[in-house]
Amino acid sequence: MKLHGIPDSALNRIAQITGQSLELYHVSNELFDSFDTAQTAQGILWFAKDRAELLSSGSGAGLYPGRPVYVYDCRVTVANPAGWDEYEKYGIGELKGLGFDSVDLDDSFVVFDPDDVEILSVYELDAGDMYGGSA
């Protein structure tokens, strides 16, 4: 099921103006059409860099058994990501204050501002499609 999309020409223009554009993935039991940091535990948005890894391991996602699972394919545009060194040294508020807009953590990516995220498509999975089909 595709909720909405943005033309590639617009995405390319946004990336040229503001920074790098990445295709990242998010998983949730909730169906929504935009991200909202007020709905997250830490006020930040977590994404996986690899969809296959996300589906096989959940990549730290806190999913509830027996509920629908939605996979979000997203385009994220960031200009100044922090890395592990900064993430381990500073809190989220400090990272924001230092001008970082995201954190690049090996297999995961953390985004601070939901306006930096565009949902390209959303897919509902069968329970058996998560965690290598063992759910």
Return the CATH number at 54: 3.90.228.10
DSSP conformational letter for 95: H
Report if residue 2 sits inside a domain: no
Could you list the residue range(s) of the whole structural domain that residue 119 is in?
Answer: 8-59+66-127
- Six-digit token string for 23: 């295709």
Report if residue 51 sits inside a domain: yes
Report if residue 82 sits inside a domain: yes
Please tell me the predicted confidence (pLDDT) of residue 25: 95
Report if residue 133 sits inside a domain: no
Q: In the chain, how many domains are there?
A: 1
Q: Does 44 score more than 70 pLDDT?
A: yes
| Confidence (pTM) | 0.77
Report if residue 1 sits inside a domain: no
Please tell me the predicted confidence (pLDDT) of residue 58: 61
Q: Does 47 score more than 70 pLDDT?
A: yes
- Reference 101, options 74, 81, 77; nearest CA is 81
pLDDT tens per residue, range 105-131: 988 999 999 999 999 999 998 755 665
Report if residue 115 sits inside a domain: yes
Q: How far apart are CA 37 and CA 58, in angstroms?
A: 20
Report if residue 135 sits inside a domain: no
| CA 124 vs CA 2, 87, 117, 130: distances in Å | 10, 32, 19, 11
The type of residue at 57 is S
